[in-house]
Amino acid sequence: MSKKISGAEYPLAKIFSSDFDYSIPSYQRPYAWTEVQAGELLSDLYDFFLKEKDDTYFLGSIVLIKEEGKPDSEVIDGQQRLTTLTILLAAITSQFDDELRVDFESYIREPGRASQGLKPKPRLALRERDRQFFADYVQGLRLKEMLALEPAQVDNESQRNIRRNAQLFMQRINTNFGEDTPRLVEFGSFLVQRCFLVAVSTPSQQSAFRIFSVLNSRGLDLLPTDIIKSEVIGNIAPAKQNEYTEIWEELEVETGRDGFAEVFTHIRMIYAKEKARRTLLDEFREKVITTVSSSEDLVTKVIEPYSEAYLVAKQNQYISTSNAAEVNALLHWLNRIDNSDWLPSAMKFLANKASEANYVLLFFQKLERLAAFMHICAYDVNMRIERYARILQALEMPHFISSPIAEIELSDREKDAMLLALNGDIYMMTARRRNYLILRLDSFLSDGAASYDPTLLTIEHVLPQTVAAGSQWEEWWPSVAEQYSWVHHIANLVPLNQRRNSAAQNYDFSTKKKAYFAGRSGVSSYILTTQVLSTEEWTPKVVEKRQSDLMALLKDKWELT
């Protein structure tokens, strides 16, 4: 067998053709993309579709075990992309009838051609556990039936991600295109003709894994900051080059190599106030370097103060004779959010106002609330960047504690959206969003005095998801509808600093408290859980009161009314 490695760039029309018959091996992790990643992908595609009439869009690469000339393709890297693109194609196809539907469906399912020995079948076969679900609902174009399923009753998290992403795509397609079928066809045509993936193939599993490892390794390759350094220092008079080189390299040591590259990314955002569309090197040259009067000023008036502000924000190291502890606590919570899109605003503010301690506290109270709102409400990267760009724009204008920037405040509509999310099925959020919210709520109860190690954090239900017949739970919660309406709400959830215990989840309340929630020490590290330990019964009335109390606390601490 030849071990030849081949790689080529293909449009999706070729990627989803009879040249490839994809299968996801059982050892691969489950489908894990959430609405955040899926939403970012669709937002990027739609934005490119609107603004670029001729250019092609690069979707990344996939690594396959595949013999040349044969369609069988075992996916080593790229299953998240291929699965998400299939869901998007299915969401588009489901909007069409007749010939259009048949045309677009051919990218999802091989229609079969007897003359070529091709049998009808899906073009992508997921892991065994999710394969039939995906084939029935997504590749079978039964999306509406899938969306009608109760999320809690779907078999696993992978299938829930598939369902949620399909729902997101259907909603976005309706918002972006409505009844304009020709325009949707145009978008679909852009997707299959002008969107490209690089497929790297080898018939050897060992070779495929080596390729995957190389593509995902993190060596000390030349970074854009290294090229920028050579250009900037090269433009400084020779007599001063050593002085500015020392400043530059000291900043790189303090922030770390990767951290320094992140600083430049955030500086680009501060100046551009929009999502990057080209390389950091190109955009930093265009958006930053050309606007600064000299290379010396670029180092001392831009890179140096923003690097220092980055370290303060990233390491929770604000220093002041007043408010330092409160500000650093807020920075701690900002750093627990799973994106750093808030950092350019923080850096811009600190670079100019760090000495005004009272204003710093006010600003970060508002910034933490805004970041939490977008995290909890699952804003994708494009939505976040657009929202933070408004703050960066406002920070260009004069502002003081007596006249702070208004753009950092939540609008009434945003407050309503946050309250709706907080009062919903919290457990069905992604783990990062859910854990962040539960721990933030617990910190509000402790008045900021508690600290948390999330290493072994699990979020558990008090009322179990499945109520056993004849149990105390059934006596307290005879209505199944009432069980469903409360089981995933924040009032019914507790954080634990121990591993999940499946056997304990359906214990009666008194046993569950003693054997599970209290842990080995008989107490809990979390106030939310301690409150449950001191409760005698867990009835609908108790949970409703607890929900009301917790919502009132969140409204007060985040100023949502």
The pLDDT value recorded for residue 219 is 40
Measured CA to CA in angstroms, residue 526 lies from 448, 476, 507, 544 at distances of 12, 25, 21, 21
Residue with tokens 């702070």: 404
Q: Which of 424, 414, 310, 403 is nearest to 371 (CA)?
A: 414
Q: What percent of the chain has pLDDT over 90?
A: 65
For residue 494, is pLDDT > 50? yes
Residue 559 CA to residue 373 CA, distance in Å, equals 12
57 bridge partner residues: 195
DSSP 263-320: HHHHHHHHHH-S---S-HHHHIIIIIGGGSS-HHHIIIIIIHHHHHHHHHHHTT----
What does the pLDDT read at residue 395? 97
Nearest to 346 by CA among 314, 372, 319, 374: 314
**pLDDT, tens only, 29-77:** 778 899 999 999 999 999 999 988 888 999 988 989 888 889 999 998 8
The tens digit of pLDDT for each residue in 376-395 reads 999 999 999 999 999 999 99
Lowest mean pLDDT among 57-66, 117-126, 176-185, 506-515: 506-515
pLDDT, residue 3, reads: 58
Residue 74, beta-bridge partner list? 23, 65
Global pTM? 0.72
Q: Please, which pLDDT band fits residue 546 given cuts at 50, 70 and 90?
A: very high
Q: How confident is the model at residue 454 (pLDDT cuts 50, 70, 90)?
A: low
User: What pLDDT score was predicted for residue 277?
Assistant: 84
User: For the residues 94-110, what does the mean pLDDT come to?
Assistant: 93
| Residue 134 DSSP label | I
User: Which positions ≥6 away from 135 have C-beta within 8 Å?
Assistant: 122, 125
How much is the pLDDT for 306? 98
Residue 523 — very low, low, confident or very high, per pLDDT cuts 50/70/90? low
| pLDDT for residue 503 is more than 70 | no
Q: What's the whole-number average pLDDT of the chain?
A: 89
Question: 89, 36 in Cβ contact below 8 A?
Answer: no
Please check whether residue 423 is in contact with residue 544, taking contact to mean a CB–CB distance below 8 angstroms: no
| Confidence class for position 216, pLDDT limits 50, 70, 90 | low
Averaged pLDDT, 411-438: 95
Q: In this structure, how many other beta carbons lie within 10 angstroms of the beta carbon of residue 528?
A: 22
Give the model confidence (pLDDT) of 312-339 as tens digits: 999 999 999 999 999 999 999 999 998 9
Percent of the chain with pLDDT over 70: 91
Per-residue pLDDT band for 358 (boundaries 50, 70, 90) equals: very high
Confidence check: pLDDT of 220 > 50:
no
First to last CA, the chain: 69
d(CA 5, CA 445): 58
Name residue 518's amino acid. Answer: A
| Average pLDDT of span 87-104 | 95
How do residues 167-215 score in pLDDT, each as one tens digit?
999 999 999 999 999 999 999 999 999 999 999 888 877 777 666 656 5
